[in-house]
C-alpha cells in the first residue's frame, strides 16, 4: 500500500477564497426585494468559456509516461482544460524532481505544487515512486493547478489528501488506470466549465511488462 501523501501549499488560501466567493455569491439573495410582481425572469444563458490551456515542461524525463497518462486523464475529462507538453522552459507548468524538504517537513509527502494557474507553476516530485503511482501523484498535483482543493467526500478520487484513499487496491499485476473519480471531474467542470465526461474504461489495467 502506498504511503505517500500529497501536499498542497495552497489549501489555507483556497479555503479563505472559497469563503469570500461564497459570501459574494449569496449577497444578492439577501438584498433582493420580496414580492416583486410578475414571473421570475430567466437569467442570462451561460456563456461558453474558452478552455484553460496550459503548457507543461517535463524536467523529469523518467516520468514522461506518468505525466502523459495524467495529462490524458484531465484532457479527456470534459472539463475545459487542455494541457500540452513543450520542450522548452518557461512553460505554464514545470514538472521536476526535488529533495523532500521542498514540500515541507512531513516525510510522507509525495509531491506538491501551488493552487491555481494564475502564474507559472512547478510540480515538485519529492518521492520517486514507480511510474504507475507517480501518474496518480501527477494527476493530483495537476488538479491543484486547475484549482481543485482536497476532496473529503469519502469516494475514490484523485484529489483525496492521501494517495489511493477510499480506493480498492488493484489486483496483482494491475494499476489504477482510471485516474480521475466522478467528483474530480464534476468539481473541475465547476471551476473551468465544460461538460463532464466520466471515464468508461476499466478501473484497473495490466501493468506493462
Ligand atoms: Zn494535494
In tens, the pLDDT along 196-207 reads: 999 889 999 999
Quick one: pLDDT band at residue 20, thresholds 50, 70, 90? Answer: very low
CA distances from 189 to 81, 105, 183 (A): 9, 33, 10
CA distance from start to end of the chain: 21
Q: Given this model, what pLDDT does residue 25 score?
A: 26
Give me ligand 1 centre to Cα 10, in Å.
Answer: 9
pLDDT, tens digit (0-9, with 9 covering 90-100), for 162-188: 999 999 999 999 999 999 999 999 999
Give the Å distance between the CA of 149 and the centre of ligand 1: 7
pTM score above 0.85:
no
pLDDT at position 93, please? 98
The pLDDT of residue 13 is: 35
CA of 208 to the centre of ligand 1 (A): 27
Amino acid at each position: 500500500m502506498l504511503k505517500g501523501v500529497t501536499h498542497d501549499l495552497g489549501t489555507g488560501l483556497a479555503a479563505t477564497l472559497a469563503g469570500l466567493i461564497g459570501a459574494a455569491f449569496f449577497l444578492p439573495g439577501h438584498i433582493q426585494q420580496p414580492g416583486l410582481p410578475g414571473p421570475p425572469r430567466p437569467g442570462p444563458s451561460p456563456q461558453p468559456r474558452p478552455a484553460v490551456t496550459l503548457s507543461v515542461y517535463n524536467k523529469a524525463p523518467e516520468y514522461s509516461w506518468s505525466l502523459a497518462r495524467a495529462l490524458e486523464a484531465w484532457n479527456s475529462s470534459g472539463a475545459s482544460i487542455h494541457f500540452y507538453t513543450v520542450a522548452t522552459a518557461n512553460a505554464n507548468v514545470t514538472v521536476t524532481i526535488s529533495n523532500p524538504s521542498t514540500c515541507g517537513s512531513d516525510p510522507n509527502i509525495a509531491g506538491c505544487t501551488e493552487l491555481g494557474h494564475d502564474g507559472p507553476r512547478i510540480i515538485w516530485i519529492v518521492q520517486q515512486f514507480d511510474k504507475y503511482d507517480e501518474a496518480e501523484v501527477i494527476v493530483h498535483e495537476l488538479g491543484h493547478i486547475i484549482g481543485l482543493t482536497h476532496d473529503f467526500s469519502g469516494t475514490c478520487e484523485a484529489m483525496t489528501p492521501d494517495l489511493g484513499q477510499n480506493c480498492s487496491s488493484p489486483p496483482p499485476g494491475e494499476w489504477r488506470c482510471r485516474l480521475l473519480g466522478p467528483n474530480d471531474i464534476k468539481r473541475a467542470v465547476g471551476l473551468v466549465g465544460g461538460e463532464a465526461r466520466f471515464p468508461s474504461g476499466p478501473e484497473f489495467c495490466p501493468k506493462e511488462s
